[in-house]
Amino acid sequence: MRAVVFDAFGGAEKLRLAEVHKPSPAAGEVLIEVHCASVNPVDWKIREGMLAELFPYDFPIVPGWDAAGVVAGAGKGVTAFRAGDKVFAYCRKPKIQHGTYAEYVTMGADAVAPMPRNLDFAEASTIPLTGLTAWQSLFDAGKLSAGQKVLIHAGAGGVGSLAIQFAKNAGATVYTTARGRNHAYVKGMGADAAIDYTREKFVDAVRTLAPEGVDLVFDTIGGHVQRESYKALRAGGMLVSIVNLPESGDAERYGARANFVFVSPNGGQLREIAALIEAGKVRPAEYEVIPLDRAAEAQERSRTGHVRGKIVLNIR
């Protein structure tokens, strides 16, 4: 089968198109004929070796953790899916090697879900990693509920776009940071207020909007932004980061709590997200489709950190 691979850690020039062995589903797995795979920042981080100490790996590596496609086969014990079903999945496996920048991928059936009926393959491929990241951060770690206030950093990104919609649908008041040119976009996603971090200090803006502070900060940036974000929290508020593990001393200093999320595959949560999409309560982030053979370009653009929405690789 056709796939994008790399044989050593390094820059985007390491990516190449190749013919590799088509996988077969083991017991409990589904074989997905991949139609589209979306690009995420973790893809280039893996390529550069930034996760080499976190996960075992074997070269050559096929990058990619998002897939939307059609069930092409199933292993022993799989009863929830049959050949021809349209599905989507967050395809992170215990070992980094067989990803979704390929014509086929296998994944445990419990991590796979039926595609939302009102989305095409490109749209559906933008959802799994970003959707589960936002869901698990806001609700599993952050315990966000109706009536609370949340600050979501980088609301125009893939994760932020969905986080805004999930939080708003849950009944929260949503503030988000975004460049001025993206304010109409994030407000269209449901943000109650957009803060241009290039023109004002986001902490001051939040304290003007919510003098007592917000209940939750969803940190998608890390570093200095993470440290400053504690100042936007109410006493006892929660910061959830997906970038780097918060320093325990920082949270204690501001009388706050902190948590870290590394997203896990979860077919059940994908079904919940799909239901919201089918009900018209959530829509995919803005996206652009490019051919699989331009994967290196896609990763380099993702690396800038200023992609609005998602980039999707068209595989078939």
Same-domain pairing of 53 and 88: yes
Same-domain pairing of 296 and 185: no
Q: Does residue 37 fall inside a structural domain? A: yes
Q: pLDDT truncated to tens, each residue of the chain (316 aa)?
A: 999 999 999 999 999 999 999 999 999 999 999 999 999 999 999 999 999 999 999 999 999 999 999 999 999 999 999 999 999 999 999 999 999 999 999 999 999 999 999 999 999 999 999 999 999 999 999 999 999 999 999 999 989 999 999 999 999 999 999 999 999 999 999 999 999 999 999 999 999 999 999 999 999 999 999 999 999 999 999 999 999 888 878 999 999 999 999 999 999 999 999 999 999 999 998 899 999 999 999 999 998 876 777 999 999 9
Same-domain pairing of 249 and 289: no
Q: Does residue 274 fall inside a structural domain? A: no
Same-domain pairing of 56 and 22: yes
Same-domain pairing of 92 and 30: yes
CATH number (domain holding residue 80):
3.90.180.10
Q: Does residue 205 fall inside a structural domain? A: yes
Q: Does residue 269 fall inside a structural domain? A: no
Q: What pLDDT sits at residue 304? A: 82
Same-domain pairing of 22 and 101: yes
Same-domain pairing of 9 and 120: yes
Which amino acid is residue 297, in one-letter code? E
Q: Does residue 39 fall inside a structural domain? A: yes
Same-domain pairing of 121 and 46: yes
d(CA 59, CA 184): 43
Structural domain range at position 74? 2-127+285-314
Q: Give the total number of structural domains in the chain.
A: 2
Contact 242, 160 (CB under 8 A): no
